[in-house]
Amino acid sequence: MESNLRQRVRNTLDQLRSELLEQRTADGHWVGELSASALSTATAVSALSATLIHAPTGIANASAIEDQIVCGMQYLGQQQNADGGFGDTDRSHSNIATSYLVLAASTLATQSKSVGLDSDQLAALKSYIKSEGQIEGLRRRYGKDKTFVVPILANMAIAGLVSWDDVPRLPFEAAVFPQSMYRVLQMPVVSYAIPALVAIGQARHFHGSKTWLPLRMVRAASINRSMQVLRRMQPDSGGYLEATPLTSFVLMSLAATGRGDCDVSRDAIRFLHQSMNADGSWPIDTNLATWITSLAVSALAGDPEDDGSWFSPSLVDWHLGCQHRRRHPFTGAQPGGWGWTDLSGAVPDGDDTPAAVLAVKQMRRHASPAQAARMDDAIQDARQWLIDLQNRDGGWPTFCRGWGKLPFDRSSTDLTAHSLRAFGIDGVSSTTKDRAERFLTRSQADDGSWLPLWFGNQDRPDEDNPVYGTSRVLLAGAAGFLSDEAVRRGGSYLCDSQNPDGGWGGGASILPWMNRDQIRDAGIRAAEGLTSSVEETAVAIEALTAIFGKNGRLSTNDQGKMPKDSTELAQTGLSAGKNDPKQVIIRGVEFLLQSVHDGRHRVPWPIGFYFAKLWYHEKLYPHVFTVAALSSFLRSELD
Strand-pair partners of 37: 282
Total domains in the fold of the chain:
2
Q: Which of 230, 259, 315 is nearest to 29 (CA)?
A: 315
Kindly report the length of the chain.
Answer: 639
Q: How far apart are CA 368 and CA 492, in angstroms?
A: 43
Own/partner contacts of 185-189, CB < 8 Å, gap of 24 or more, are: 186/405, 187/403, 187/405, 188/146, 188/150, 189/145, 189/146, 189/147, 189/150, 189/406
Look at residue 140 and tell me if it is in a domain.
yes
- How many helices (H) and strands (E) the chain has is answered by 25, 4
38 CB burial (10 A radius; 0-12, 13-18, 19+):
buried
Would 507 be classed as within a structural domain? yes
Q: Do 492 and 514 share a structural domain? A: yes
Read off the amino acid at residue 619: K
Question: In this structure, what CATH number is given to the domain that contains residue 186?
Answer: 1.50.10.20
The pLDDT value recorded for residue 482 is 97
In a domain, 279, yes or no: no
Q: Are residues 115 and 170 in the same domain?
A: yes
Decide which of 249, 273, 297 is a domain's last residue: 273
Structural domain for 262, as ranges = 37-273
505 contact partners, CB below 8 Å, separation of at least 6: 457, 465, 467, 468, 499, 532, 533, 535, 536, 537, 540, 607
> Do 61 and 135 fall into the same domain?
yes
Domain-ending residue, one of 273, 296, 313:
273
- 159 and 301 part of one domain: no
Among 636, 619, 453, CA closest to 534? 619
Report the alpha-carbon distance of residue 599 to residue 521 in Å, rounded: 12
DSSP string, 123-165: HHHHHHHHHTTHHHHHHHHHTT--TTHHHHHHHHHHTTSS-GG
247 and 297 co-located in one domain? no
| The last residue of a domain, from among 251, 273, 295 | 273
185 lies in some domain: yes
- Assess whether 59 and 204 both reside in one domain: yes
Q: Is residue 281 part of a domain?
A: no
Please indicate, yes or no, if residue 28 is contained in any of the structural domains. Answer: yes
Does the residue 280 lie in any domain? no
Q: Helix or strand or coil: residue 335?
A: coil
Do 198 and 324 lie in one domain? The reply is no
Spans of the chain, pLDDT less than 50: 1, 185, 557-570, 573-577
Q: Is residue 55 domain-shared with residue 203, that is, in the same domain? A: yes
- Is there a single domain that holds both residue 386 and residue 489? yes
d(Cα 582, Cα 256) in Å, to the nearest integer? Answer: 61
Whether 521 is covered by a domain: the verdict is yes
Strands 282-283 and 608-610: unpaired
Same domain, yes or no: 260 and 291: no
Runs of H (alpha helix) within 449-580: 466-478, 484-496, 510-514, 517-521, 534-548, 566-572
Say yes or no: 375 and 402 in one domain: yes
Do residue 298 and residue 387 come from a single domain?
A: yes
DSSP assignment of 582-631 = HHHHHHHHHHHHHHHHHTGGGS----EEETTTEEE-BTTHHHHHHHHHHH
